[in-house]
Structure 1
Amino acid sequence: MRISVAEAEGKLAELVARAQRGEDVVLTQHGKPALQLVSVAQSPLSPEERLEVFAKIRKRARKDPSPFEGDAARSQDFLYDEFGLPK
């Protein structure tokens, strides 16, 4: 469903209900899409499962060093010539 922002005023509850049912709700300004109402899905993981996933990520991060090691101040030198101008 496409509806102008001006027309959507006062219909927010109805538009939210439609989005929650899975309908595409696009608000337009001057005939162009401006934003879309999207239902936020619940996480398929329980809080305990999420904590377990984070623990695995932390463990792997401690074991594997970051691939971005090096001097950040010099990380983009390849973009410039010896005079400091873009190549």
Structure 2
Amino acid sequence: MKISVTEAKGQLTDLVRRAEGGDEIILTRHGQSAVQLVPVKSARLDARGRKELLEAIRASGVANAKPGPNPARSQDFLYDGDGLPK
């Protein structure tokens, strides 16, 4: 089913239910296909799967961490050379 974004605004709840039920819902803008509503497949993880996922997320955070500014100097822009507020 193709429907314009403007028309879909008033029918969103029904369109979501239909997409969850397996219908193909395509939203159009100016007559051109823009997006498709598809149901999200839930990924149920057991305890081991959750633990592995959390470890992977932590490892990714550590690998992508970048050093930030020195916290002792992070507010220097608020003060002038004499240490008084600007």
With structure 2 as the length reference, what TM-score do the two structures score?
Answer: 0.54
Corresponding residue of 1:22: 22
SS class of match (2:51): helix
Give the number of the structure whose residues are more often helix, by fraction.
2
Other-structure match for 1:7: 7
Give CA-to-partner distance per residue, 1:22-68, whole Å, 9 cap, x none: 21111001110011111111004324323236658x9xxxxxxxxxx
Aligned residue-pair number: 60
When normalised by structure 1's length, the TM-score is: 0.54
Unaligned runs of 5+ in 1: 59-87
In structure 1, distance between residues paired with 2:7 and 2:54: 44
Task: Find the structure with the greater CA-based Rg.
Answer: 2
Query: Superposition RMSD on alpha carbons, in Å?
Result: 2.6
Asked whether 1:34 is paired with 2:34, we answer: yes
